[in-house]
Amino acid sequence: MAILTASRSPCSLSPSPRSQDPFWVKKRYSVTQLPPITVTSHLSTVHEAEVHSRSRTITRTPTPVHSVTPSKTSGDSVLDESDDHNLHAALTSEKTSNTVQSEFGHCANQSYRYISQHNPDKPVAEDEIEEPPYYILFTTYFSYLLLVVIGHLRDLLGKRFAKSSFIDLMIHDGYAPLVSDFQSFYARRLVQRVNDCFYQPISGVAGRTILVYDRYSEDFNRTQTYTGTTTRALNISSYNYLGFAQAHGSYADAVEESIKRYGVSACGTRLEGGTCDLHRIAEALVARFIGTEDALICSMGFATNSTFIPALVGKGCLVISDEHNHASARIGVRQSGACVRMFKHNDMGSLEELLREVISQGQPKTHRSWKKILVIVEGLYSMEGTMVNLPKIIELKKKYKFYLFVDEAHSIGALGPHGRGVADYFNVPPSSVDVLMGTFTKSFGAAGGYIAGPKLLINSLRMHGHSGPHAEAMAPPVLMQIVATTTSIMGVSSVDDLATSKSTSHQPTFKPSTNGVAMSEVEDEYLHPGMVPASALPTWFSIPSSLADGSEARERIRRLAFNARYLRAGLKKLGFITYGHPSSPIVPLLTFNPGKMLMFAQMMRTRKPTPLAVVVIAYPVTPLVTSRVRFCVSASHTKEDIDVVLRACDEIGDILDLKHGKGKRWPIEEIVKRSVELVHSI
């Protein structure tokens, strides 16, 4: 990893007056001043629009500004709707008027919406893995081989002739090296070459656009030099699926109010004096949102897996894990002491085969039967964009009696017609999954994670999970972001529909928990627990009317679904190889060659007029050959933003020879024109 230095060589080309200061040097109260924007891209016009809209919303009230004027400013024209939907624009501007264009793009055209939902008439599609031509595979392996050989040569010669720079890798002064040269070989000799693409510091909101600090390296990425300037780029990489990363608007207003009322910290662990009423309210809301009896909240997404899985399984238990499961789940399983077996990624046949083997064989050596078997899968896989085949797993679960743990870190909020994750997407009752885990970092623009399930289970986890007595409780502002966003997705019912609940007695009843928040309420519909009664919310939370009916969030969910499908379909039609499910907002574009991956990121970042911030990933996160670019689509993107991405990919893909996909190709103009048709065709 690069060492951040502020030094700047005298021979550098463009010494700017600010360049002597690295950006983190104390500028305590400068947070409100934006650093200078360098690129005269059309995105800077977005910045102007932002200033406009800030001046408009300078007197923020909890209710939205009911401005009659359409939100279009002269500067927006490039990114905003350019077609004739003035009527729509006027209508929707009411809802989006207190958002900022650089954080959340306006998109009034109702045809740019899609409902993400599984078609029950069709079988669940198997993941297709498209293979590249052999020469691509060959050159990729060859480039790794070359890098490894050169790396070892440099180590060999370096250790002999430049001992001083290798001192940390050799035994010195009676100490073994802190990091052995073998362990760090990959980081030193391969990752360092592409370090330019990672750990780029940003400023401001990671919304529709992002302010990236400009930097360059004079010593082959060992250190990075910051120029002090920033570039505003289109952000197609943050986990901001529903676009809730916003510094302005109703959600931020609610968070501000919570800071005023609660401060910033919970000051303690959940079991030892860090629980406040907001925790209880948020947990009850999350349980309602997921559609389970109870839920618990943990202050960190990673820790949700790593500290609660050990409370589920232990010695004598078996965990069957998808091979692409996230590191946090693996750490959790390792800490639990349970046995682990893996099955091929998202391959239900492999899972069934494994289940038959392990149940019939029992524990290794003793052949005693397993205490219990827990299958851990993810709703949406973060690197592949693939979606779990939930109906099939539930079918297997009935036969093989295992427990099912679904990690919905990426899918919650992002999938399903109501944004309630994979269960919602497949229209499966959430109770058919034993443990539903998810995070708030991604779709909700907050932090931390949750585990939802039956009350018995959740209470047991509260007592036996590591987080309860040892980890800090979630901070109140984060809780409020969760409360505000989940509420807006569900909508608020003005009347307490206690009367209607009586008639539907077969539904699970939400017992009033001892938190003083009346939750004795039954949803009208089992699968989609309906609206939140106002009594379940903090009394001081005055939710604006546009959020209360759930329409604002519904727009977000549908925009996300459209954008996700459009980008994927567009890339396919351009001839790229992509992985994953059509509805997945994670769209990996395969570059195979690690060198091309680096070039792709750099060309995207320096692209004129619109720079794009993209995430690239390679081995060891992915298999060796399948280096990739990972796009994360957001509801904050407009259709035009996706056009921009597609155009950029089209050009760069030609230059880098990345188009190896099969199937009929369309020219870019046709894709842009027939986008709606495309989205509905896949």
Partner 1 sequence: MSAGNATLEPLLTWLTLILAQLERTFYKVPGSAVIARYVRSSHQNDPGRTVLELILIVFAVRTLMQSRSRDKSEGKLIKFSEKEIDELIDEWTPEPLSAPLTEWEQRDLASVPVIAGPNGPKPKILSTGKTVINLASYNFAGLAGNEHIKERAIETLRKYGLGSCGPPGFYGTVDVHLELERDIADFLGTESAILYSQGFVTISSVIPAFCKRGDIIVADRAVNFAIQKGIQISRSTVRWYDHNDLKSLEDVLISVEKDRRKRGTPITRRFIITEGIFERDGEIVDLPKLIELKHKYKYRLILDESISFGSVGRTGRGLTELYNVPASQVDMLVGSVANGLCSAGGFCAGSTIVTEHQRINGTSFVFSASMPPLLAVAGSEGISFLRNTPSALTSLQENVRAVRAVLEKTEGIAVVGHRASPIVHFHLKIPCIANGSANGIATNPTTVMPPPTGPSFDYEAEEKILQDIVDDALANGVFITRAKRLRGQEMVETRPTVRIVVTAALTKKEIEKAAGVVKGSVAKVLGKRKA
Of 353-382, binders to partner 1 (CB under 8 A) are: 356-357, 359-361, 364, 367, 369-374
Contacts of 17 (CB under 8 A, 6+ apart): none
Output the six-digit token pair for 160: 């002999």
Name the minimum Å distance from CB 87 to partner 1: 31
Of 160 and 367, the one with the shorter C-beta distance to partner 1 is 367
Pick the binder of partner 1 from 481, 546, 563, 675 (CB under 8 A): 481
Distance between the two ends of the chain, CA-based, in angstroms? 41
Could you tell me the smallest distance in angstroms from the CB atom of residue 663 to partner 1?
Answer: 30
Our CB check for partner 1 shows the closer of 73 and 246 to be 246
176-215 binders of partner 1 (CB under 8 A): 176-179, 183-184, 187, 191, 198-207, 210, 212-213
- For partner 1, the closer of residues 64 and 530 by Cβ is 64
402 near partner 1, rule: CB under 8 A: yes
DSSP 8-class letter at 472: B
The CA-atom distances, in angstroms, between 577 and each of 130, 185, 257, 514, 545 are: 7, 30, 46, 53, 44
Of 237-256, binders to partner 1 (CB under 8 A) are 237-240, 244-248, 251-252, 255-256
Contact of 358 with 317, CB cutoff 8 Å: no
**136 or 281, CB closer to partner 1?**
281
Residue ranges in 39-98 that form contacts with partner 1 under rule CB under 8 A:
none
Task: List the structure tokens of 632.
Answer: 């994360």
Q: Do the beta carbons of residue 43 and residue 209 sit within 8 Å?
A: yes
Distances from the Cα of 17 to the Cαs of 6, 8, 14, 40, 107, in angstroms? 13, 12, 10, 19, 39
With CB under 8 A as the contact rule, the residue among 348, 393, 475, 589 that binds partner 1 is 475
Which tokens in the block code for residue 527? Answer: 């699968």
Token pair listed for 378: 């993810």
Binder of partner 1 out of 38, 269, 501, 542 (CB under 8 A): 269
- Residues numbered 557 to 596 that lie near partner 1 (CB under 8 A) are none
Residue by residue, DSSP assigns 54-75 as: HHHTSS--SSPP---S-S--GG
Beta strands of 448-545 (E only): which ranges?
Answer: 449-453, 492-493, 532-533
How far is residue 221's CA from residue 143's CA, in Å, rounded to a whole number?
19
Distance, in Å, from the CA atom of 601 to the CA atom of 582, rounded to the nearest integer, reads: 24
Sheet of strand 435-439, all strands in order from the earlier edge strand to the far edge: 294-298, 449-453, 435-439, 403-407, 373-378, 318-322, 339-343
Contact segment (CB under 8 A) with partner 1 among 85-93, 270-278, 421-429, 520-528 equals 270-278
Residue number with CB closer to partner 1 (101 or 328) = 328
Q: At what angle do helices 301-308 and 327-336 cross, to 10 degrees?
A: 20
* Binders of partner 1 in range 453-472 (CB under 8 A): 456-457, 459-464, 466-472
The number of beta carbons lying within 10 Å of the beta carbon of residue 256 is 13
Number of residues that bind partner 1 (CB under 8 A): 139
Binder among 12, 67, 86, 335 for partner 1 (CB under 8 A):
335
Quick check: 413 binds partner 1 (CB under 8 A)?
no
CA 8 → CA 13, 17, 95, distances in Å? 10, 12, 47
Its sign, for the CA torsion 137, 138, 141, 144, is negative
Which of left, alpha, beta for 365 (phi over 0: left; psi -120 to 50: alpha)? Answer: left
By CB under 8 A, which span of 28-36, 69-77, 494-502, 657-665 interacts with partner 1? 28-36
User: By CB under 8 A, which span of 66-74, 137-145, 352-360, 574-582 interacts with partner 1?
Assistant: 352-360
Among 145, 259, 624, 682, binds partner 1 (CB under 8 A): 259
What is the spatial distance between Cα 522 and Cα 535, in angstroms, rounded to a whole number? Answer: 13
> x/- string (CB under 8 A) for partner 1, residues 651-670?
--------------------
435 lies in the binding site for partner 1 (CB under 8 A): yes
Separation CA 369–CA 364 (nearest Å): 10
- Alpha-carbon separation of residue 549 from 108, 317, 444, 497 (angstroms): 18, 45, 18, 15
Nearer Cβ to partner 1 (359/518)? 359
CB 230 within 8 A of CB 236: no
628 - beta bridge partners?
590, 617
Pick the binder of partner 1 from 75, 105, 291, 301 (CB under 8 A). 301
In the region spanning residues 305 to 324, those forming contacts with partner 1, defined by CB under 8 A, are 306-307, 310-312
Among 152, 154, 261, 673, binds partner 1 (CB under 8 A): 261
Rg (CA), the chain: 26
Per CB under 8 A, the segment of 73-81, 288-296, 303-311, 645-653 that binds partner 1 is 303-311
Which residue number, 309 or 574, has a Cβ lying nearer to partner 1?
309
Q: How far is the CB of 83 from partner 1 (least distance, A)?
A: 30
Q: What are phi and psi of 77, to 5 degrees?
A: -50, -30
Q: Report the SS3 class of residue 423.
A: helix
Q: Who's near 54: CB < 8 A, 6+ residues apart?
A: 100, 248
Query: What's the CA gap between 38 and 230, in Å, rounded?
Result: 6
Site string for partner 1, 523-562 (x = CB under 8 A): ----------------------------------------
Give Dmax over CA atoms of the chain in angstroms: 84
- Please state the closest distance from residue 2 (CB atom) to partner 1, in A: 8
Among 125, 327, 495, 624, binds partner 1 (CB under 8 A): 327
Cβ proximity to partner 1: between 125 and 463 the closer is 463
Contacts of partner 1 in 598-637 (CB under 8 A): 613, 615
Q: Is residue 510 near partner 1 by the rule CB under 8 A?
A: no
User: Closest distance between partner 1 and the C-beta of residue 519, in Å?
Assistant: 15
Binding residues among 218-237 for partner 1 as defined by CB under 8 A? 235, 237
**Closest distance between partner 1 and the C-beta of residue 307, in Å?**
7
Nearer of residues 258 and 675 to partner 1, judged by Cβ: 258
Residue 37 in contact with partner 1, rule: CB under 8 A: no
| CB nearer to partner 1: pick between 323 and 525 | 323
DSSP secondary structure letters along 384-397: T--B--HHHHHHHH
Which residue's CB is nearer to partner 1, number 204 or number 530?
Answer: 204
- Residue 475 CB, shortest distance to partner 1, in Å, is 5
Q: Does residue 1 touch partner 1 according to CB under 8 A?
A: yes
**Shortest Cβ distance from residue 251 to partner 1 (Å)?**
8
Residues 131-160 interacting with partner 1 (rule: CB under 8 A): none
Chosen residue from 48, 127, 130, 277 binding partner 1 by CB under 8 A: 277
SS3 437: strand
